[in-house]
Amino acid sequence: MVKHTTHTKLRSLSRFLQILDGTFPSGIFVHSFGLEPHIIKQNVKDINTLKIYLKNLITDQYDNMEFIYIKKVYDALLGNKLHLIKKMDNNYGCYLTYEYTKSSINIGNNYYTQIKNHPTKQIVKEYFSLIENKQSLGNEIIVLSAYAFDLDITLEDFIVMWTKKNLINIAATTLKISRIKPSEVQQMLFEFDEILENLDFSFDIKKDKITNFNPLFEEIIFAHKNLEPKMFAT
């Protein structure tokens, strides 16, 4: 039994690592959340300020929105509440900018196309059926949360893997728009493992409220009318 369980977990992690690899075949999208204007204004100018920027992204953005969304999706899946998953999926774009919304749905549907024939849990099959029938939008974070749940990947493991994927992709954009060395970025990303291990995964569905106000993004973007966030896509 232990051997079978171990093999099943390894297979789940292997499958999920494959689809999280943005280079093939889905492509990736990374909303920089104001990284380039931060660099232009010298708020991010070296590896230490980049690390602060990414830590604040977790605190000011993910912890108040994406993490709560993931927790709510897992809770709805556990409770077999398909109507809530559909509602959250279709409302997700209300918190996002227009370009981010389009990319979230496009990438989510790319993931869905690859994995739609693989789910084993009935609730996940039913959610995927909603996407197939154009009754649910299929945002990236909802699709990936559902598939991680289907693979018996824990909430904690999924949040850590999803966050690390985004941190890697965002940090990689600095190589295009700054002089920070790749070796420094790599070592800095290793340091985030300890930060991710200490995330607060507790969740109160009645008290935890979603907010899309991100001071990291708002302060810099609105400081100059000509600075706009960019979407890095491949």
* pLDDT tens-digit series, residues 166-208: 898 888 888 888 889 999 999 999 999 999 988 888 877 666 7
Q: What is the structure's pLDDT at 184? A: 95
The SS3 call for residue 233 is: strand
Q: How far is residue 84's CA from residue 76's CA, in Å, rounded to a whole number?
A: 6
User: For residue 83, what are its two tokens?
Assistant: 């109507």
* Residue, of 122 and 13, whose pLDDT is higher: 122
Whether pLDDT at 112 is above 50: yes
* Residue, of 173 and 4, whose pLDDT is higher: 173
Q: What is the structure's pLDDT at 6? A: 66
Which candidate, 189, 84, 71, 193, places its Cα nearest to that of 141? 71
Q: What is the structure's pLDDT at 224? A: 53
> 147 with 16: CB under 8 angstroms?
yes
User: For residue 6, what are its two tokens?
Assistant: 């171990």
Q: How far is residue 138's CA from residue 128's CA, in Å, rounded to a whole number?
A: 8
Q: What is the structure's pLDDT at 88? A: 95
Q: What is the pLDDT of residues 114-135, one digit of tens each?
A: 899 999 999 999 999 999 999 9
The SS3 call for residue 31 is: strand
